[in-house]
Amino acid sequence: MPNEECNRASDPMPVSALLALAMTGFICIATETLPAGLLPQISSSMDISSALAGQTVTAYAVGSLIAAIPLSIATQGWRRRSVLLLTIVGFLVFNSITALSHDVVLTMAARFMAGMSAGLAWSLLAGYARRMVAPEQQGRAMAIAMVGTPVALSLGVPFGTWLGAAVGWRSAFGVMSLLTIVLILWVLAKVPDYPGQARSARMPLYRVLTTPGVRPVLGVVVSWMLAHNILYTYVAPFVTPAGLADRVDLVLLTFGMTALAGIWVTGKLVDHFLRSTVLASLALFALVTVTLVLGARSVIVIYACTAIWGLTFGGAATLLQTALADAAGDSADTALSMNVVAWNGAIAAGGLAGGFMLETWGVAAFPWAMLALTCVGFVVAWSSRAHGFPTGSRTGDMTVISH
């Protein structure tokens, strides 16, 4: 990374610019989850079933999956702020169409295109945050840039539900469009611009995938996120035996609050103890699954395990994207687009696997499946001591962390 593109270690952290990236992440997640709390209103307004209304979430996820890698590759040579603004304008346009549309096909198309914007955004944000700072500040910078994710995950659905009840579901999407206008102005005022990658420096996709360390990190992404999403997707039926069917919002709020704490802790540890933090997070999550096997009907156990679960998950995006970008070096944006596919694929697979287990064996099967997947992730991370999750401080040799 050219010296002129990053701050000296002694320079202050560009918090305002990083928070603009965090706001972009918040809009990505909030736009994705907004329909979940508005399905009755959407189905009634458009005269469709709740099941069909729920496909607005599916269309968004499919758009992210399909677009992340090709759009990231297609825009490699573009100025970075131009790409960021393109994604935000995409949210403005397609959320506005969703708010105004009375046609199911047009609405689904708008949701798909909004998902494409998200796929490009997620492949961009982590690498952008790293370019703003010196290598020894990159982990903390990414922790700030990723803070919008747990906020949106914990507050997105209840916020959308409240907003829809207050102003209607169409106005709720209109509010999202207004937020994107504010974000566009924020980016223009505070986020620095950087050149794209020179054609001579670009690596083919297969070479990025075979770069030492990339596949192990993606393997941990898939196993960890699949375990997480089995429980997160079906948290309502899982906590029902403990008598918490009417307290799912409080369970998710507990998760969200401790996830924010997890981001703060990760920001302190990621630059010097990335490997240890990943392994500790996976080990604690495995402990949560074992505890849930034994005490899933206890309210106290549910809340305690949810708190630890949130703490271990909060920094996952920062940890895994930092490890992936470090492994990929100059091809970080391409590798991070693969992360988008792996992450969203795990969300979809978690929904399918959890649904199958719920219908076949019931919620008691969840902790066992989560334990197995978490152990796989732990073994892969533990084994990747040379590349992917190397031993020692990631700031020990600044020459290997380039962009």
pLDDT tens digits for 9-45?
Answer: 557 889 999 999 999 999 998 898 888 778 778 888 9
Residue with structure tokens 């700072």? 133
Asked if 391 contacts 275 with a C-beta cutoff of 8 angstroms, the reply is: yes
Ordered structural domains, the chain, with CATH: 1-202 (1.20.1250.20), 205-385 (1.20.1250.20)
Q: Which residues contact 367 (CB under 8 A, 6 or more apart)?
A: 289, 290, 292, 293, 296
Judged against a pLDDT cut of 80, whether residue 4 lies above it is answered with no
Q: How confident is the model at residue 103 (pLDDT cuts 50, 70, 90)?
A: very high
Judged against a pLDDT cut of 60, whether residue 270 lies above it is answered with yes
pLDDT tens sequence across 134-165: 888 888 888 899 888 777 876 766 677 778 87
pLDDT for position 393 = 81
Number of helices (H) and strands (E) in the chain: give both, helices first: 16, 0
Listed residue (213, 208, 207) closest to 387, CA to CA: 213
pLDDT tens sequence across 50-59: 778 888 888 8
Residue 94 — left, alpha, or beta (φ > 0 → left; ψ -120 to 50 → alpha)? Answer: alpha
Q: How confident is the model at residue 400 (pLDDT cuts 50, 70, 90)?
A: very low
Task: Tally the C-alpha atoms within 13 A of residue 191's C-alpha that lie toward its C-beta.
Answer: 28
Tokens of 15: 């918090």
Q: Cβ atoms within 10 A of the Cβ of 89, count?
A: 14
pLDDT for position 300 = 96
Q: How confident is the model at residue 401 (pLDDT cuts 50, 70, 90)?
A: very low
Q: How many residues does the chain have?
A: 403
pLDDT for position 295 = 92
Judged against a pLDDT cut of 80, whether residue 348 lies above it is answered with no
Would you give the distance in Å from CA 128 to the centre of its chain?
15
Tokens of 77: 């040579």
Q: How confident is the model at residue 399 (pLDDT cuts 50, 70, 90)?
A: very low
Q: Which residues contact 243 (CB under 8 A, 6 or more apart)?
A: 299
Q: How confident is the model at residue 167 (pLDDT cuts 50, 70, 90)?
A: confident
pTM attached to this predicted model? 0.81
Judged against a pLDDT cut of 60, whether residue 398 lies above it is answered with no
Asked if 278 contacts 213 with a C-beta cutoff of 8 angstroms, the reply is: no
pLDDT tens sequence across 172-223: 999 999 999 999 999 999 999 999 877 656 678 888 999 999 999 999 999 9
